[in-house]
Structure 1
């Protein structure tokens, strides 16, 4: 395909990964974002092997590994701190020939931005709409400027407005039933965790997780099933969590006492049900704009990276642009629908909305050798695009 002029709306991990992939397909790419300064949402992310494979193909996998944590062991404990199961992830990595990379979102953004080139990213000037032409699209920017492009990639996240235009309807997000507090904390023996270990404490539909993210830091999160619309100021985070996790084990109490509310985020978790379509005309949706998912499978970022790879591949052939975008939709729809649906079902089980299945899961964890969980991870990873 000839060199295309492509505009990307949104400079998150999906938008930046897509920019790299399209640049490497020899297209002219520019990314616009409404924020005044690029700051990633959240503290860290686990990039599973299907996402890492995409990053390797794009030439940034090595840089990602340098600044990521080591994740070789997975463990589950109950609220009293009793071990339910612990097992190695190395057999999984050896079988699929790729590891996972838990990483600070700040480090991830820095690596991706460097690969794209800061001169190809404009902040404080977001995409607010578009006008479809016969064979092109006119992109409307918040500063009043209009830019003609061959393709507009909508990577504007879970609150995407462009997906409404693509689907000719308002797409409402679906509440997944729980609130998540997430942040980072420095290693301490009081956390009772290995340097390469991911621990999840689960009981009563609640969950506390600790995962190494590099730099001697751990990414933590708390999940609590709560009604939609609950809110709290940062000054209330510790009191909230002390109430919700009263009586839980000493490492959890240490975590609550020692995390910094100033660098901690509290979010209600939402997803979107499968969209009617991912493209219209010369506009295409990727990432959370296309398939916002709950984090219960750890695949949100990985799906965006897969999107980037498939879109760049389709725009590397000699098909007409609209046909290429339709092909992208065909290749992605089943995959993203499957992962979003499985993650939502897992959210309902984990957080007690399917109580018997939650209790069964706790019993299964106590008997788990690691084989079942590794096989589940393997199936998800091998369903990727590389």
Structure 2
């Protein structure tokens, strides 16, 4: 099975990995648990570090054509008072690529459309792994088994591959839930490429243009983990965020109920290792993070490029995955921990503490001059 790589999961990390493996002469095959490839999903912010990775993949111009370039971002209170601004057009000049808002489905389509030699098999649920001196063998629920030189677990936060390698690593509940929606909406923000996040007491709302007339939005609220995940009516959601100024109520109002989803937010504490033998984890399977920094998809794209680089250097699979881990673990740990901390601060509920928090944020040096911020979005592969 020389040069054959098995990839579990056909999400962003799996598709991006396959594309990079093709570029360096490997033959990937993707196994997806679902019966079909995903064509749904919400929106994504691809920060400069992600568009830098996409440039390395040769996809940057097509990404720009299928997304909205974001020129400025603001952090505000629920009443609309500005706490901080990030001039993303200046960061584009500094880092060499733009930050964009893009539909997840658009990114999936672009990645999948560039695959030439990769076979994608749907309806394959991994149940076991076995490794020999020369190959790794994947066993699936449908009775099929397949062997390869390397197996990549790109199957997300609920990774079956991770559960085989590290079965006692539990998910961590954030303390809040998120609603997400896509809506047709046009105003000066969508036209100019302006994004914002508004903080209330135990609640947040984010607005990210996907085009001149399409918006991806998210709304978070503190909750208990044992509440059932169920659909909430649009009317209830509007009422819950009634103290937020426009365009928040208007954006929710124009969103169709079927296009609003609710999800409890989890991550997991950073793993000590991402691999065993010929099996390696990437993306959310390796370092699932809360969405507060908008880095989940960005990190998956980075992972794909770096893992391919390690293999291209002529290393055997064992050395390649160890080099990949060495390159990526500290960065992933930084982002997971900073995102977790950001969420705790942003989701504060006590009104007095929220006032103090807002005052501190407003009087701090500019976010985009913060060293950690630059480490995250200004990262070059």
TM-score range, shorter chain: over 0.9
Give me the CA root mean square deviation.
2.3
Q: CA deviation at 1:368?
A: 6.4
Q: 1:305 aligns with which of 301, 306, 312?
A: 301
SS of alignment partner, residue 158 of structure 1: coil
Q: CA deviation at 1:322?
A: 0.9
1:130-149 alignment runs, 5 A limit: 130-149=129-148
Within the alignment, does 1:378 sit opposite 2:348 as a pair? no
1:357-372 alignment runs, 5 A limit: 358-367=354-363, 371-372=366-367
Counterpart residue number, 1:14 = 13
Q: CA deviation at 1:306?
A: 1.3
Within the alignment, does 1:340 sit opposite 2:339 as a pair? no
Counterpart residue number, 1:278 = 274
2:9·2:153 contact (CA, 8 Å) conserved in 1? yes
2:127·2:141 contact (CA, 8 Å) conserved in 1? yes
Q: CA deviation at 1:225?
A: 1.1
Distance in 2 separating the partners of 1:132 and 1:232: 38
Of 83-92 and 158-167, the range deviating more from structure 2: 83-92
Distance in 1 separating the partners of 2:112 and 2:16: 9
Number of residue-to-residue matches in the alignment: 380
Indicate how the Cα distance of structure 1 residues 109 and 31 shifts in structure 2: closer, same or farther if over 3 A, else same: same
Of 320-329 and 6-15, the range deviating more from structure 2: 320-329
Question: Over residues 202-232 of structure 1, what are the superposed CA-to-partner deviations in whole Å (9 max), with x where a residue is unaligned?
Answer: 1113111111112620110101111113235
Counterpart residue number, 2:52 = 53
Q: CA deviation at 1:141?
A: 2.3
Question: Over residues 312-348 of structure 1, what are the superposed CA-to-partner deviations in whole Å (9 max), with x where a residue is unaligned?
Answer: 1111123222121111111111111111011001111
Indicate how the Cα distance of structure 1 residues 363 and 289 shifts in structure 2: closer, same or farther if over 3 A, else same: same
Within the alignment, does 1:109 sit opposite 2:105 as a pair? no
Question: Unaligned stretches of 5+ in structure 1?
Answer: none
Counterpart residue number, 1:181 = 179
1:102·1:213 contact (CA, 8 Å) conserved in 2? yes
Counterpart residue number, 2:215 = 218
Question: Unaligned stretches of 5+ in structure 2?
Answer: none
1:92·1:378 contact (CA, 8 Å) conserved in 2? no
1:1-386 alignment runs, 5 A limit: 4-39=3-38, 42-86=41-85, 88-117=87-116, 120-167=119-166, 169-189=167-187, 195-214=192-211, 216-231=213-228, 233-234=230-231, 236-352=232-348, 358-367=354-363, 371-375=366-370, 376-382=372-378, 384-386=379-381
Q: CA deviation at 1:379?
A: 2.4
Of 79-88 and 281-290, the range deviating more from structure 2: 79-88
Indicate how the Cα distance of structure 1 residues 354 and 295 shifts in structure 2: closer, same or farther if over 3 A, else same: farther
Q: CA deviation at 1:361?
A: 3.8
2:30·2:118 contact (CA, 8 Å) conserved in 1? no
Question: Over residues 138-160 of structure 1, what are the superposed CA-to-partner deviations in whole Å (9 max), with x where a residue is unaligned?
Answer: 11123211111100000010101
Q: CA deviation at 1:125?
A: 1.9
SS of alignment partner, residue 129 of structure 1: strand
Indicate how the Cα distance of structure 1 residues 140 and 91 shifts in structure 2: closer, same or farther if over 3 A, else same: same
